[in-house]
Amino acid sequence: MENSKIEFEILRDILKISNSTLNLHERLNQVVEEIVEKMHVDACAIYLVKKGGETLSLKGAVGLNPEMINGISLKVGEGITGWVAAEKTPLAVLEIFKDPRMKNFPGSWEEKYRSMISAPILFLGKCLGVINAWTIEEKAFTTDDLHLLSSIADGMSGSIRNAQLYLDATKQYEELVSLYDISKMLNSTLELQELIGMVTRKSTEFIGASGCMLHILDVKDNLLKVKSMYGLYKSPEEISRTQLRLGEGVAGQVAIKAIPMMINNLPEESEHLLPMEKIFSSLLCIPMTVKDRVIGTLTLHDKKDASGLLVPFDKDDMNLLMALASQGALVLENAWNYERAERLFQENAQKANDFAILYEISNAMNTTMNLDQLLKIILKAVTFGGGLNFNRSILLLVNEKTNTLQGMLGVGPDSGEDAFRIWTEIGSKKMSFKEWIASVNASGQERTSRFDQLAKGIRVPIEYGKGVLALTVLEKKGFNIRNIQEDPRVNPDVLKKLEFESFATVPLISQDRVIGVIVVDNLYNKREITDKDLRRLELFASQAGLAIENAKVYSDLEKATRSIRELQDRLIQSEKMAALGEMAASIAHEIRNPLVSIGGFARRLDSKLDASNPEKRYSRIIVKEVGRLEKVLQEVLAFSRSAEPLFSECSVITLLEEALEVYEESFSECGIEVIRDFHEGVPNIHVDSNQIKQVFINLFSNAQHAMSKGGRLTVGCEYKAVEGEAMIYVSDTGGGISEDVITNIFNPFFTTKHTGTGLGLAISHRVVDMHGGDILVKNEPGVGVTFTISLPARQKRGGISEEMDLSAARTGVKGKEVHYRGQGDFLNGMGKGEGSESIP
């Protein structure tokens, strides 16, 4: 009865405890205390079977080391407790250390006890846990004792089951909340890297693992690449393998099979493991899939419980992680798509921007046909921030005549400070290329930089072995030189002065021909020249080449137009001169008649007056002055005569004699001795006899003037067979010409004489020139001057008129064959209706 009373009391208390509002842990503690007190045992403990039913864990105890609560974990079937759980049968052991099933956990204080009683906690045939009780003294527990403990266990089972259900529900709720939180967080950002980091962190925290590694499958090379890690490692550098082949390691296996892997007893199952995976004690690897396609894997390692003890991963962890991974995979996929879309958009925007700038540049290039200005615009475009964005650029053009590349222009700052100033200026004004070009053109603030000067000095022969610049022309392609020192293609001499370190070249091509080269670099911001930069530069260069060619063609055209205009101007000028000449001639002729009367009658008067008559002096003056006027008239008429000479065959000697005749009287008056040095065999010359005679007359006039107090005039003529020229020389002993005078003697209207127009030698020069001859002056100061005239002995020019002349000469006096220069009214009138020909 005693026993049943105690049993009743215990069961009542247990039920009271079980139905209390205390939490499971406290309830278990109260139960074990109750048992120790009522059943007169020294220790009591309750193990509970964990989820999954495979392990038992110490949950509440009296008389055992309290630190071991939650710390002792037993497999079902292991130890006495495990045996009870597995067999679902109560058991009493007299001496526990003699029992073969005994498994001692050092430090659990169990070794203090001798005898033990144990009963399973059963609920609907399922073992929820085990209750143990120990005594220090050896005690033979009775069947009553076993019955009592089993009853206590039964009484507790419902409450434990409820508590477990409640815990499960709470845990599931918490997991759902966490999952929801995670997916909310994952969806809150589209930043891929941030997302990946979040997935690894949340997975680790959520499952309670020590760390996590996320591999993403790169479809390009089919490699799994570590994208994020959390926990043990801080950065990818710390692990030996940042990428895995499919099938390699746990992640590789999972990725290829698309099923999760859970390894809890590492490193024994190490077949597929990599050394880096073996350092862990447990692994859980989940494939991340989107629409049945594996995009990566998520690997957790070393799960720990709340007290920091390593615990194995379980099915729940796997399911949870899979849920999380599928969420994560979807979000990652979204983020990728977004990122790809954004990248595409940005690329398109960049391309659109490129084209917009190129369009602007080509517009700017089309605004000018001036080559210099065009070159400037091209280089500005190359260095403009929003344009091609290089720091400095040089433009060289091919000189085809010398086969060299010639620096034309260099654009770029001279120093870093200069560069900074320019860039901030442009940046602060936010100028477009068009505005910038306009402002540069308008302000004219362009000062020649040192860089420009150096650039203009570049000359490179276009041959192999003469450096990259020449190579760019020869090979018709651009070069990107990363290191000027190490590249054997570079001719360092050329570019050293310009401080080039790395640079790129691009040919300017027009109509399949390289017309120049653009060189660029980024000396100041050290930005690397990418292949993309080079492609843009090439695109630009093809445009620029076209523009330069256009400008060149235009400039050629302009030059041609200009020369035509000049020719036109000269023609107008000569027409003006002709008109002026005509006027002068007609005036001169009108003056000549009255002069003849005045002079003629003065001479008559003079001859009638006796020498003693004082009026004789007056008549002399009139005669002399009229003579002077007539000479002036002669000169003016000779000058104003039409430019085209009228050619005929004549004898040089005859012309000389005729000219001498004019001055015969003057020479003898001045006491000038005339010496004739006429050689034989001088052929007839083909000249305008009047003009040539006028030349001789002018020379004689000058000689007479130079030798007014007497002297010797030598007139010579000989034939130079080799040159086919007749050479005439007129030499005086007039003392020569002073140096400052001699340089001017052939200038029109220059004279040293007190009388005369000064036209004499100018006319002579022009006449000889027109005859294809030459007039030279040899001055011997203190002695005299020798003029030498050479004339072609057979003048081919005016061949038609030569024919006419000859026919006219042959047919004698017949009026029909008359021809003359059409000048003067009477001549025009003369030709009318008479069938005579006029050659203008």
Partner 1 sequence: MKTVLIVDDEENIRILYKEELADEGYNVILASNGYEALEVLSVQKPDAIILDIKMPGMDGVNLLKLIKERKEDDIPVIICSAYEEYKQDFSLWASEEYIVKSSDLTKMKGALKRILK
Binding site for partner 1 (CB under 8 A): 589, 592-604, 623, 626-627, 630, 634, 637, 641, 646, 648, 689-690, 808-809, 812-815, 817-821, 823-827, 829-830, 834
Query: How far is 302 from 238, CA to CA, in rounded Å?
Result: 18
Task: Quote the least distance from Cβ 766 to partner 1, whole Å.
Answer: 16
Whose Cβ is closer to partner 1: residue 742's or residue 827's?
Answer: 827
Sign of CA dihedral 313, 315, 320, 321: positive
Task: Quote the least distance from Cβ 621 to partner 1, whole Å.
Answer: 13
Task: Give me the amino acid identity at 343.
Answer: R
Cβ neighbours of residue 107 under 8 Å, at least 6 residues apart? 65, 67, 68
Burial class of residue 735, CB neighbours in 10 A (0-12, 13-18, 19+) = middle
Helix (H, G, I), strand (E, B) or coil at 237: helix
Query: How far is 840 from 819, CA to CA, in rounded Å?
Result: 10
Assigned token pair, 489? 């293609």
Whose Cβ is closer to partner 1: residue 44's or residue 656's?
Answer: 656
Cβ atoms within 10 Å, residue 240: 8
What is the 3-class SS of 81-142, one letter each residue?
HHHHHHHCCCEEECCHHHCCCCCCCCCCCHHHCCEEEEEEEEECCEEEEEEEEEECCCCCCC
Task: Quote the least distance from Cβ 706 to partner 1, whole Å.
Answer: 24
Which has the closest alpha carbon to 282: 296, 307, 299, 259? 299
Whose Cβ is closer to partner 1: residue 265's or residue 593's?
Answer: 593
Which has the closest alpha carbon to 631: 663, 664, 601? 663
Judge whether 354 and 389 are in contact, CB under 8 Å: no
Query: How far is 137 from 113, CA to CA, in rounded Å?
Result: 7
3-state helix, strand, coil in the chain (%, to 5): 50, 20, 30
Whose Cβ is closer to partner 1: residue 486's or residue 825's?
Answer: 825
Pairing of strands 711-720, 672-678: parallel
Whose Cβ is closer to partner 1: residue 383's or residue 801's?
Answer: 801
In 291-424, DSSP assigns E strands to: 293-303, 392-399, 404-411
Judge whether 284 and 250 are in contact, CB under 8 Å: no
Task: Quote the least distance from Cβ 695 to partner 1, whole Å.
Answer: 15
Helix (H, G, I), strand (E, B) or coil at 597: helix
- Residue matched to tokens 């005594």: 135
Whose Cβ is closer to partner 1: residue 564's or residue 580's?
Answer: 580
Task: Quote the least distance from Cβ 820 to partner 1, whole Å.
Answer: 5
Cβ neighbours of residue 192 under 8 Å, at least 6 residues apart? 332, 335, 336, 339
The string of DSSP letters for 720-736 reads ETTTTEEEEEEE--S--
Question: Bridge-partner residues for 789, per DSSP?
Answer: 728, 775
Residues present in the chain in total = 840
Judge whether 817 and 780 are in contact, CB under 8 Å: no
Task: Quote the least distance from Cβ 808 to partner 1, whole Å.
Answer: 6
Assigned token pair, 789? 């005239």
Sign of CA dihedral 365, 370, 373, 374: positive
Query: How far is 438 from 250, CA to CA, in rounded Å?
Result: 66
Task: Quote the least distance from Cβ 658 to partner 1, whole Å.
Answer: 10
Query: How far is 449 from 514, CA to CA, in rounded Å?
Result: 27
Whose Cβ is closer to partner 1: residue 55's or residue 634's?
Answer: 634
Task: Quote the least distance from Cβ 376 to partner 1, whole Å.
Answer: 58
Rounded to 5°, the CA angle 60-63-66 comes to 55
Span between the terminal Cα atoms of the chain, in Å? 168
Task: Quote the least distance from Cβ 672 to partner 1, whole Å.
Answer: 20
Task: Give me the amino acid identity at 596.
Answer: V
Task: Quote the least distance from Cβ 815 to partner 1, whole Å.
Answer: 5
Task: Quote the least distance from Cβ 830 to partner 1, whole Å.
Answer: 5
Whose Cβ is closer to partner 1: residue 319's or residue 668's?
Answer: 668
Whose Cβ is closer to partner 1: residue 459's or residue 608's?
Answer: 608
Judge whether 478 and 518 are in contact, CB under 8 Å: no
CA count, 13 A, side-chain hemisphere, 120: 21
Whose Cβ is closer to partner 1: residue 100's or residue 812's?
Answer: 812
Whose Cβ is closer to partner 1: residue 185's or residue 595's?
Answer: 595
Whose Cβ is closer to partner 1: residue 65's or residue 823's?
Answer: 823
Task: Quote the least distance from Cβ 770 to partner 1, whole Å.
Answer: 15
Give the DSSP H or E segment for 613.
Answer: none
Whose Cβ is closer to partner 1: residue 464's or residue 826's?
Answer: 826
Whose Cβ is closer to partner 1: residue 292's or residue 825's?
Answer: 825
Task: Quote the least distance from Cβ 748 to partner 1, whole Å.
Answer: 20
Strand order in the sheet with 283-290: 243-245, 223-230, 209-218, 293-303, 283-290, 261-263
Whose Cβ is closer to partner 1: residue 375's or residue 602's?
Answer: 602
Whose Cβ is closer to partner 1: residue 684's or residue 823's?
Answer: 823
In 363-493, DSSP assigns E strands to: 392-399, 404-411, 459-461, 479-481
Whose Cβ is closer to partner 1: residue 323's or residue 598's?
Answer: 598
Burial class of residue 603, CB neighbours in 10 A (0-12, 13-18, 19+) = middle
Task: Quote the least distance from Cβ 550 to partner 1, whole Å.
Answer: 54
Whose Cβ is closer to partner 1: residue 179's or residue 587's?
Answer: 587
Cβ neighbours of residue 323 under 8 Å, at least 6 residues apart? 179
Task: Quote the least distance from Cβ 694 to partner 1, whole Å.
Answer: 9
Task: Quote the least distance from Cβ 807 to partner 1, whole Å.
Answer: 11
Task: Quote the least distance from Cβ 596 to partner 1, whole Å.
Answer: 5
Task: Quote the least distance from Cβ 661 to partner 1, whole Å.
Answer: 9
